[in-house]
Amino acid sequence: MTAPDRIRSVVPPYLLRAVADAAEHPRAAAAARTALGEMTAVAAPKREHRIRPQGVVGTVDRSPQRTIADAAGGTTLPGRVVRREGEPDTDDAATDEAYAGLGATHAFWLDVFGRASVDGAGLPLDATVHYGQDYDNAYWDGQRMVFGDGDGEVFNRFTIALDVIGHELAHGVTQHTADLTYEGQSGALNESVSDVFGSLVAQYTAGQTVDQASWLIGEGLFTDAVHGVALRSMRAPGTAYDDPVLGKDPQPATMAGYVQTTEDSGGVHVNSGIPNHAFFLAATAIGGRAWEGAGAVWWDALVSPSTTAGIDFAGFAGVTLDAASARFGAGSTEWTAVRDAWRTVGVHTAS
């Protein structure tokens, strides 16, 4: 396997560890141990923050440029190319789901925020499917999307969830904008931003309002053997699953439950529930279509020079308030919704 520059996976290590210990699901346990081993082997080194590009030079191709490769159960990337941009559907569900998901995500960023691909400069969207044997994850490695097929006992194939595809490509957007350090609260914000925009990709594609959205991340990834509906819930963090074998979703919804840990880069996946819930509260208080309200505020905050690489929850909350004020006006319904959302989850700013 060629080691990636960075790995941002959708299934958190705490859940993979629970699966790895599940004697009731031997095939899944073996697959989870493999996924955990790979995450450890390619853990991304801490990097210095890159200066944001000040503009795109030359002509930008604003059309999607997708290439899907098949690893055929191996771990060498990229694999054999099986579908390129403009080619018809294949007879392989994972290939076609990946192709469609990349297209839907590209359309969201272009239509809503005028951004041409994840880097804003028309970056080709590459993906590999059928990665590994029963591989229990999907990830962005800094250059491409990689999808496992799941183990069939606990996890289904990872191309079925559009919000997962949106989540992983949002890591690419963050990489090319704020480049939030993947550790502690900035790392939890990194994960949360991906959940936010992954959810918005799914909502935009389905034409859903805030009241119609499920606010679940990874809905459908669990098989029927699991007592759970998704990997995470933005509406109610900590309620996505409660399984006698895998345990209960550990995400906190407020700072009262903040997890102090050295695992998972300081709890980036578990503590992301707090800013996730803040976004949900802001979006539903504003109402309508989330990408036009809270989503626009979070986007403005993500690209703001005030969002430093190591920013914490309170710092980011302050930037979102400034963004809401600039876009909608201080004291507006939108500004008040953002302020109250952060206060509700226990994150306080000077405003």
Residues assigned a catalytic role: 168, 269
Closest among 92, 87, 91 to 103, alpha carbons compared: 87
